[in-house]
Structure 1
Amino acid sequence: MNELYMTGAEKNRRSRAILVMSVLGILIIASFIISMNTGFIRLSPLDVLKTVFGAGTDKQELILFDFRLPRIVISVLIGAGFAVSGAIIQGISRNPLSDPGLLGINAGAGLAVVLYISFYPVNEAAPLFFMPFLALIGAGATALLIYSLSYRKHYGLMPTRMILVGIAVAAGISAAMLVLTIRLDPNDYQFVSIWLAGSIWGTNWKFVLALFPWILILLPYSFAKAKVLNALNLGDQLAIGLGARVNKERLWLIAAAVGLAGSCVAVGGGIGFVGLIAPHLARRLVGPQHQYLLPASALIGALLLIVADTLARWAFQPTDIPTGIVVAVIGAPYFLYLLSRSK
């Protein structure tokens, strides 16, 4: 919107959003630096600085560039992806308590991976690098099933029905995964259990390169659709009156949300609650308009996951715990709080 036509309230809202996102950016940078120093083998800030500029030892370079930095970057990308996916789904369904996990998208990605591992051992190189594509296919197939069951010819996609169908589909997929995991080899079972708990297992630059294009393409696309999401929040009739092609736009937005969630699940496993908490916190900080809500959600999701992953690496040294467990410890009480305040 041209600044000449902005009201005082709109200018204040934009200024507040810029301030909030600037603070979040600073917190992410600070968390990034702290995370580089944190681990079983501690690197002081001076050691990190020396290593970044090429003056560190071979051991320090190995720790920082080959292990920590890829994991930290992946945490940022996954947090932003899950958060924006959750914000899109909440905008489409007009329900602040929905997220990719609730709609079964995460479960669908997990089922595809478990099915593949049932036939191929995880100690082979090919399955490990093929899993992101499988997770994306599983998430897409699940979303397509939910969409087809929620769509009615004369009414289009019904948001409330979509949530109920998603919960039912997620429950069925979880039951199928339980049956499949019982039949796995012990080594494969251990890998799947840790992966489904939300372990960021793809901790090298190849996985960063595999995930980055999805984030690079789908985040800007989602931000560009902010006005469409604003219109959809007003209800289908008003959105149509404003010129939005409701069913077509909703389908493309669901595809973007699935692409973000599926690619993040592939590398980060079944990390839940980020897509629920981040948009809700962003809505409290910058308001419901998606041109501010989506980027703020991405920043909050990135901050939440980088902090959770740092705690997962630090809390029980020398053993790492899955990042998803730390996020669940934070997210479950907050979800219950939201549920208690929901009308």
Structure 2
Amino acid sequence: MSNSFLTASQQKTRRKNFVTIVTLLVLIVITFVISMNTGVIKLTPMEVFRTLFGQGDAQQQLILFEFRLPRIVIAVLVGMGLAVSGAILQGISKNALADPGILGINAGAGLAVMLYISFFPTTKAAPVYLLPVLAFVGAGFTAILIYTLSYRRHEGITPMRLILTGVAIAAGISSAMIVLTLRLTPENYQFVATWLAGSIWGSNWRFVLALLPWLLILLPFVYAKSRVLNILNLGELTAIGLGASIERERRWLLAAAVGLAGASVSVSGGIGFVGLIAPHLARQLVGAKHQFLLPTAALLGGFLVLMADTLGRSLLEPSEIPAGIVVAVLGAPYFLYLLARLKE
């Protein structure tokens, strides 16, 4: 009797989670369509539909295929990468406030990208596909530094020490980036300022192709580690008892989180709070099991960044508000809310 009840309960939970995921997909599609119609030059839904099937004029095809679609796709991919990165960091550290932006990983990736830009007059001077690699190196170095400074032999890594170390390192990296701006040309300085605000700057198909392989490799790898993340959440002693090699699994998952955050930041700029908000909302919607949490967080992250970028392009036309600022307007109050709950 209890087994049949448990099975029925599990089936109900799975149906609910399936409905949640489908709803998020529908929301992304709706926002995707709205975003294709948003911009200085308006395209009606019928014009977008005709252009997608090759019936639009040259101007409509240029606007849709060369400017809007790449940026929309990048916004969704970046949101997914940052959200899953945040979910991994929260899982391996058991820290509700872990996020690649707050911990300084985004800042490390940004510093590497900024160094690259400062030595090349334009982003066309060297291969675009090198950007995610450089961002991964910068983010990886930062993550190793944070991990090393936070670790204590007899205590391991405590959540509060991890957060404080990350915030301190992020502040130091931000200061270094400000100093580096002194050697930039006015053109590159304007670009860096926009990048730091979190603007989707990689807005052509080359940047999509530069980012996509990282997500195609790392997202399935992380999903395959869902059970490991579930075990790690049970505590170190329980995880060891179940046969998990804690440190090895943490290193692999940390490398995946760094790769996702670094690749995303390399084409999107310093967008923060996505890795904090999306996993928390996903946990409230589908629970703590990472088999459902990870895909839900990815969809929420994609929806959040796409919505922020669409709002940023439409609120003050013809000017734009960087997506990072729109996300920060939503994320900062949520961060304070989480802090208040932790104190309780």
* TM-score category (smaller protein): over 0.9
Q: TM-score, normalised by structure 1?
A: 0.94
Does 82-91 or 137-146 show the bigger shift?
A: 137-146
| Cα distance per residue 1:154-194 (max 9 Å; x no partner) | 65555543333222211211111122123422222111110
Preserved CA contact (<8 Å) 1:92 1:159? no
Partner of 2:107: 107
Partner of 2:43: 43
Partner of 1:293: 293
| Cα distance per residue 1:79-113 (max 9 Å; x no partner) | 01100000010111111111001111001011112
Separation of aligned partners in 2, 1:9 and 1:247: 34
Q: Secondary structure at the match of 1:272?
A: coil
Q: Aligned pair 1:277/2:277, yes or no?
A: yes
- Structure 1 residues 159 and 254: alpha-carbon distance in aligned structure 2, compared to 1, 3 A threshold: farther
Preserved CA contact (<8 Å) 2:198 2:322? yes
Any residues of structure 2 matched to 1:231-246 within 5 Å, and which? 231-246=231-246
AA of the residue aligned to 2:247: N
Any residues of structure 2 matched to 1:79-228 within 5 Å, and which? 79-122=79-122, 125-126=125-126, 130-153=130-153, 157-228=157-228
Partner of 1:33: 33
What is the CA-CA distance between 1:214 and the residue it aligns to? 0.6
Aligned length: 341
| Cα distance per residue 1:19-57 (max 9 Å; x no partner) | 110110111111111111111111111101111111110
What is the CA-CA distance between 1:132 and the residue it aligns to? 3.0
AA of the residue aligned to 1:188: N
- Structure 1 residues 251 and 159: alpha-carbon distance in aligned structure 2, compared to 1, 3 A threshold: farther
What is the CA-CA distance between 1:236 and the residue it aligns to? 0.6
- Structure 1 residues 158 and 13: alpha-carbon distance in aligned structure 2, compared to 1, 3 A threshold: same
Q: TM-score, normalised by structure 2?
A: 0.94
Preserved CA contact (<8 Å) 1:132 1:266? yes
Please list every run of 5 or more consecutive structure 2 residues that lacks an aligned counterpart in the other structure.
none
- Structure 1 residues 156 and 20: alpha-carbon distance in aligned structure 2, compared to 1, 3 A threshold: same
RMSD of Structure 2 on Structure 1 (CA): 1.9
- Structure 1 residues 123 and 207: alpha-carbon distance in aligned structure 2, compared to 1, 3 A threshold: closer
Partner of 2:324: 324
What is the CA-CA distance between 1:123 and the residue it aligns to? 6.2
Preserved CA contact (<8 Å) 2:108 2:141? yes
Q: Aligned pair 1:59/2:64, yes or no?
A: no
Preserved CA contact (<8 Å) 2:100 2:106? yes
Separation of aligned partners in 1, 2:75 and 2:5: 39
Separation of aligned partners in 2, 1:113 and 1:298: 24
Q: Aligned pair 1:338/2:333, yes or no?
A: no
AA of the residue aligned to 2:240: I
What is the CA-CA distance between 1:122 and the residue it aligns to? 2.8
- Structure 1 residues 129 and 290: alpha-carbon distance in aligned structure 2, compared to 1, 3 A threshold: closer
Q: Aligned pair 1:7/2:7, yes or no?
A: yes
What is the CA-CA distance between 1:317 and the residue it aligns to? 0.9
Does 122-131 or 94-103 show the bigger shift?
A: 122-131
Q: Secondary structure at the match of 1:112?
A: helix
- Structure 1 residues 227 and 213: alpha-carbon distance in aligned structure 2, compared to 1, 3 A threshold: same
Q: Secondary structure at the match of 1:217?
A: helix
Does 180-189 or 79-88 show the bigger shift?
A: 180-189
| Cα distance per residue 1:139-166 (max 9 Å; x no partner) | 1111122223334456555554333322
- Structure 1 residues 154 and 120: alpha-carbon distance in aligned structure 2, compared to 1, 3 A threshold: same
- Structure 1 residues 185 and 227: alpha-carbon distance in aligned structure 2, compared to 1, 3 A threshold: same
Preserved CA contact (<8 Å) 1:157 1:247? no
What is the CA-CA distance between 1:131 and the residue it aligns to? 3.1
